[in-house]
Structure formats: C-alpha cells, structure tokens
Amino acid sequence: MTTLRLNPLTDLLHVLPGADEAAADAVAQRQAQLTKPPGSLGRLEEVVGWLARWQRRAMPRLDQVDVVIFAGNHGVTAQGISPFPAEVTVQMVANFRAGGAAINQIAGVAGARLSVVPLSLDQPTADFTQAPAMTEAEFLAAVSAGFDAVVPGTDLLCLGEMGIGNTTAAAAMSAALFGGAGADWAGRGTGLDAEGVARKAAVVDRALALHADHLTDPWQVARRLGGRETAAILGATIAARRHGIPVLLDGFVCSAAAAPLARLLPGGLDHTLIGHVSAEAGHRRLVRALDRPVLLDLDMRLGEGSGAALSVMILRAALACHTGMATFAEAGVADGT
C-alpha cells in the first residue's frame, strides 16, 4: 500500500536530467589558458566545472543565489533530546524574518536572497519513537512545499533548516540509510551534555527498532524518521536537479535530509556540494557516506543554512577568477611549456 502512493515520486527521479559534460569541458579548456600554473586554484577550478555541469552553461552565473530555510517542529522533543524548548523554532522564524539571525548576516555578505518556509509549526510531527513521524499525506505535502520553494532560473540554491530536535531526526535517518547505531550518529546538537547525548542515542535506537521493517525504502526513512523541514529539503533538492540548479547543502540535518536521494538514484546528489562540514558529531561520518566534496571546515554547528551561505563566497571568488582572469596570450605571460 504505502509504496504505491510514493510511486509518482520515484517515477519522477528517472526523468531527472544528467550533467552537461560539454559545459564542464569548456570550463576546463578555459582554465588551462588562464595566467596561473595548471591546477593551482585547486577546488576553485573544480567548483566552476561543477557549476557549469549542472547549470548546463559553459560560462556559469551566480546572479541569483537563493537561500531557503525550511522550519518544522518535532514530536520527538517529548523525549528530552534538546536543551532548547520547541517554541524556539517559531521564535527563530520570527528572528529570520526580522533580520536578526546569523543567516541573515551571512546571506547579506554572500549577496543571496533569503526565504523562510515554516511548515505547520503548530503541528509537530509525531514522536517517532511511538509512530511514523508523518502520515503519507503530511510527508507528500512537505516534499511538495520543498518543490514549490525552488524558483526556476535561480543560479544556485542554498538549503537550510530550523527545527528544535532535528539533529535527533537526522541521526535516526543517517543510521537507517547508512547503518550503525544511535551512538554512531548522535551528537551534542545545540548543547547537550554527555548524558543528554546518551539519551539521544537511545531514542534513535528505539526508533530504529520500531520502524525496522520499513527502512530499506529511503522514502519511508524520510517519512517515518524525518520532519517536515527535512522532507521539504529532499523535495527542494529533487526540484533543483530538475530545473538545472546546483545546490549547496548545509550541515548535518540538511545533508541527512537530502541523503535519501543518494539511495534512491545513483549519483542523485551529484548536483550538490556540502558547504561546510559541521562540528556536530555525525556530519563528518555522513559526508564520508555521501562522498560529496566539502568546501569549508570552520567548526560551526548552527544550521539555518549558515554553512551553505558562507561557502557561496568561495563560489563567487572561483567564478570571478574564471570569468575575469587574463589568458597567457592576453597578458603576454610565458606559460611554462
């Protein structure tokens, strides 16, 4: 029964476009002529190729960069897995709208447009130690909200989240998708002590046991253990691929939210990079499992899309070098060959 209704989503995956390797090749050809030793801009050269490959343009653009934060509330907070009360989710949404959060400042420096999408904050998901977090209808509505938040024509999409309790959901999803127990994925979140982390790991283990018969299907992992905001991130990541928009993922929760796509479709996250590897314990492990490049490692663990937005500036510098540098011939510089 359950698989049937999710079939339209799975069908959609099979018509997602692949990479434009000709555009990436054009980037590599230009890079070889620019006034620098070959390869000396390292990751900056690679990311321009990645932008070209997924924007499907030989000369990529970063004119319109969007940061979208999805917010959701989690019934699993009843298990005492966060030092912050669940009301903080709605308070932080107000803070985003008033311009007072870290992501507002970072998006401003990065020249990105910030949108906030609160998802039924007055209706927390079910406590996933007791039941699936979402019904199928709730899950599909959240995935659709993610789809709808992606604006075709955007040059780059940064995804972020806010949701008290959602590192517990991310730990549960990661364990379900990539193996391991709660203790392998549970971390301090917004500031748990060691006892709190142990409690969180036990909560994850109970959830894994309860849903064990359904976790080979990545859609079910996202529906049973995730939240509305993680479902929306999954939807937005799929929509971005469909519209030719490269995606910067943020930290642990955001990466875990998108991770089902890597399990559903080989190379399903190839149009994404991870902006920043979080200090939250599980993220480094998840990054290895996803095998996607990371741009920054600055010991941050905030969420809100902060790491994704921060890394936009790396892409802007990379693109400026690609478009603005002189070639050896233009500059009259000997090219070392």
Is 151 a residue that touches a copy of itself (CB under 8 A)?
no
C-alpha neighbours within 13 Å on the C-beta side of residue 141: 13
Is 87 a residue that touches a copy of itself (CB under 8 A)?
yes
Is 329 a residue that touches a copy of itself (CB under 8 A)?
no
> Between residues 217 and 280, which has the closer beta carbon with respect to a copy of itself?
280
- With both helix axes pointing from N to C terminus, report the angle between 136-148 and 228-243 in degrees, rounded to the nearest 10: 50
Helix (H) or strand (E) holding 310: helix 306-324
Is 44 a residue that touches a copy of itself (CB under 8 A)?
yes
Is 272 a residue that touches a copy of itself (CB under 8 A)?
no
The identity of residue 270, as a single letter, is: D
From CA 262, how far away is CA 90, in angstroms rounded?
30
- Sort residue 111 into left (φ over 0), alpha (ψ -120 to 50) or beta: left
Question: Cβ of residue 65: shortest distance to a copy of itself, in angstroms?
Answer: 13
Is 92 a residue that touches a copy of itself (CB under 8 A)?
yes
Is 38 a residue that touches a copy of itself (CB under 8 A)?
yes
- Our CA angle for 254, 172, 198, nearest 5°, is 110
- CA 254 centroid distance within chain: 4
> Between residues 208 and 287, which has the closer beta carbon with respect to a copy of itself?
287
> Is residue 157 within 8 Å of 246, Cβ to Cβ?
yes
- Per CB under 8 A, the segment of 11-19, 22-30, 65-73, 103-111 that binds a copy of itself is 103-111
Is 32 a residue that touches a copy of itself (CB under 8 A)?
no
Q: Is 111 helix (H, G, I), strand (E, B) or coil?
A: coil
Alpha helices (H) along 179-305 = 182-185, 194-210, 218-225, 228-243, 252-264, 281-290
Is 300 a residue that touches a copy of itself (CB under 8 A)?
yes
> Between residues 101 and 281, which has the closer beta carbon with respect to a copy of itself?
101
Is 30 a residue that touches a copy of itself (CB under 8 A)?
no
From CA 110, how far away is CA 309, in angstroms rounded?
7
From CA 64, how far away is CA 247, in angstroms rounded?
13
Residue list 191-220, contact with a copy of itself (CB under 8 A): 191
Residue list 53-72, contact with a copy of itself (CB under 8 A): none
Single residue of 31, 55, 95, 174 touching a copy of itself by CB under 8 A:
95
Single residue of 4, 15, 98, 194 touching a copy of itself by CB under 8 A:
98
From CA 184, how far away is CA 69, in angstroms rounded?
27
21 is catalytic: no
- Per CB under 8 A, the segment of 69-77, 205-213, 235-243, 291-299 that binds a copy of itself is 291-299
Is 190 a residue that touches a copy of itself (CB under 8 A)?
yes
> Is residue 54 within 8 Å of 246, Cβ to Cβ?
yes
Single residue of 52, 68, 71, 110 touching a copy of itself by CB under 8 A:
110
Dihedrals φ, ψ of 273, to 5°?
-120, 160
Catalytic one among 138, 280, 304, 330? 304
Cβ neighbours of 10 (radius 10 Å): 14
- Per CB under 8 A, the segment of 22-30, 100-108, 129-137, 173-181 that binds a copy of itself is 100-108
Single residue of 1, 4, 14, 40 touching a copy of itself by CB under 8 A:
40
From CA 51, how far away is CA 271, in angstroms rounded?
8
> Is residue 236 within 8 Å of 149, Cβ to Cβ?
yes
Q: Which residues participate in catalysis according to the annotation?
A: 304
Binding residues for a copy of itself, per CB under 8 A?
A: 34-38, 40-44, 83-85, 87-88, 91-92, 94-95, 98-102, 104-106, 108-110, 190-191, 279, 295-302, 306, 310, 313-314, 316-317, 320-321, 323-326, 330-334, 336
